[in-house]
Amino acid sequence: MTRGSAAPIPGEPGVREERPVGPRRRTSRFGRFLDGGRLLQDGAPGSPVLRLVARWVRRPLLPAVRLWRRNIQLRVVAGTLVMSLGVVLLLGLVVIGQVRNGLLDAKGKAAVSQAAGGFTVAKDKANATVASGSQDGGAADGRAATSSVQWRSDLVEQLASGGQGAYNVVTLGPATNEAGASNLGARASGKVSVASVPDELRRSVDQGTTPFQTYTQIRYEDGRAPEAGLIVGQRLEDVDHQAYQLYYLFPLAQEEKTLSLVKGTLATAGLFVVVLLGAIAWLVVRQVVTPVRMAAGIAERLSAGRLQERMKVTGEDDIARLGEAFNKMAQNLQLKIQQLEDLSRMQRRFVSDVSHELRTPLTTVRMAADVIYDARTDFDPVTARSAELLGDQVDRFESLLADLLEISRFDAGAAALEAEPIDLRETVRRVIAAAEPLAERKGSRIRTVGDAQPVIAEADPRRIERVMRNLVVNAVEHGEGKDVVVRFGVAGGAVAIAVRDYGVGLKPGEATRVFSRFWRADPARARNTGGTGLGLSIAVEDARLHGGWLQAWGEPGGGSQFRLTLPRTADEPLRGSPIPLEPEDSRRGREQALAQVSAERLATVPVQPGADRSALPAQPRAIPADPTALPGSGARVVARQSDSVTQASDREDTTRGR
């Protein structure tokens, strides 16, 4: 099936941008959230409270989102800040890690060296005490035990005396089992708690003879806060050859202060660098964006008709060259437009002058043709027929000259509207009465629908009558002897008159070209109906002068329909038409109605138990929507209207803009 053809508002694209005909781009909920659409669309699950919360959260974000999308300078500066912040953070982490490792390595080496010296002193002292005891040779066992405990206390005091504030010394007895260690003979300096020594370290020291080290929390018995520290320990023997554990605890407070100072310095320097980079990016981008914004503003003013606007160019860099190129382009554009305006003015002046100048000789030719036509009865048949043809062509030439004069007035902007409240029914009746002789010769009949009530609008009677005469005569001439229907419609602030014929119709795409000057569906065919080829062009200009629309629809072999929509008042903008552009009795409309009826009948047929459903007639396949019947193209298929204007007012076509 060949689809019909529908014309949009003359002078505008066939498909409006706000309602695309093709498949719509799918967007996520987050995208609709940022675009300002509702997060929960109609029919989507969710309570009104959730929709209200989503709306409340989205409202303060919309200005920021619009600013982000429209301001390239903001996006560049923000991106620079984010990237520079990431680089500063990465470098800061690397530097802090390196400083921390260096401090800990240095502290570890110093601690191991200091602890090794202490272990050597402890060994030497134990050996010296054993040697002096062997020279005495008469010590009792109880005195030996007492001297062992006292010896450890003296050892702790001696070793700790050289490192006040730098380290502390702890001695512990050997581990008794895997569950824990005995604190027998535990000694500590600086109020350090023996719990500062981890059990795992104690077990490692108890099982080996070499020094062991680890990091731990140094706790104090006097209530001071724990602090990080490095602990180094080794198993030794006292004067009684009993094993004990000697530990050196080195606080890391100074290293922590140094690391904190490094962190603060890096944070301050990093923040300063980020702010500096942001300022630099803002200044650099501003130098580029400002000329672009200036060019955009000047381009908008150029598009508005202010062709004398130019960019201010300073310097010799790339931006300056861009400004010079833009100014040169604007200058050439102004020159070309001026040339076109002059040429168009000359053409309009030429047409107007020629039309006016042709009136005088045409009047003379008209008078001579009338004399010859009146005397044709005295001529031979060939000469008489030539006199008749001469009269017909002079009439056609007069009509063409009048149309050319009218077109020249529209082109020159000199057409004036003399609007007054009129009943469009009376105007259409006069047109129909004048077209009835032609309809009788063609075998057609002109019917009116929806004229039961007055159709009042502020319009120029002469221009409206000319428009309707063009539409009705064209419908009769191309109706192939079938009826022509003139339908009236009133709704809101608009009135409409549709002229429907059932003749040859229009091919796809011809509805937009039918209003062009001197356009013919078949260029090979000569004009033999007396038309000038300017009737519909003048009709479109008359409709625009009223602030209305003149649109066409047609399908091959199914006829066509022309719809004139006017505002009720001269200064009221149109928002829709009371009559759909595509008639209900179009081929597609009839097939859709038939498919709907078939589907309803199929749904009401009862299926007997055990019956084979495959034997039932197949449900008709849905007919794909035609772009001319979708919103945005000025047409839609609606239920059949009655002759009542009140029912037609409820079917206003709201898909058309101005």
The per-residue pLDDT for range 482-521, each reduced to its tens digit, is 889 999 998 888 999 999 988 888 888 777 778 877 776 5
Give pTM, 2 decimals: 0.47
Q: What type of residue is 204?
A: S
Structure confidence at residue 179 (pLDDT): 42
Q: What is the DSSP letter of 38?
A: -
Is residue 38 over pLDDT 60?
no
Question: Contacts by 640-648 with C-beta closer than 8 Å and gap 24+?
Answer: 640/584, 641/450, 641/489, 641/579, 641/584, 643/449, 643/450, 643/452, 644/450, 644/452, 645/450, 645/452, 645/453, 645/455, 645/488, 645/489, 645/490, 646/453, 648/450, 648/489, 648/490, 648/491, 648/578, 648/579
- 8 A C-beta contact, residue 307 and residue 337: yes
pLDDT digits (tens, 9 = 90+) for 122-169: 888 888 776 665 555 544 444 444 466 778 788 888 888 877 778 888
Structure confidence at residue 595 (pLDDT): 74
**214-219 mean pLDDT:** 89
When pLDDT is cut at 50, 70 and 90, the band that residue 23 belongs to is very low
**583-591 mean pLDDT:** 75
pLDDT digits (tens, 9 = 90+) for 529-561: 445 677 788 888 888 888 888 988 888 888 889
**594-608 mean pLDDT:** 63
Closest CA relative to residue 22, chosen from 586, 656, 632: 632
CA 261 from chain centre, in angstroms, equals 49
Structure confidence at residue 397 (pLDDT): 79
CA torsion, ordered 382, 386, 389, 391, to nearest 10 deg? -130
**624-628 mean pLDDT:** 35
- Per-residue burial over 221-235, b if 16 or more Cβ lie within 10 Å, else e, is eeeeeeeebbbbbbb
Distance CA 615, CA 105 (A): 90
Q: What type of residue is 241?
A: H
- For residue 608, CA distances in Å to 101, 117, 612, 614, 620 come to 87, 106, 9, 13, 21
Is residue 525 over pLDDT 70?
no
Structure confidence at residue 19 (pLDDT): 36
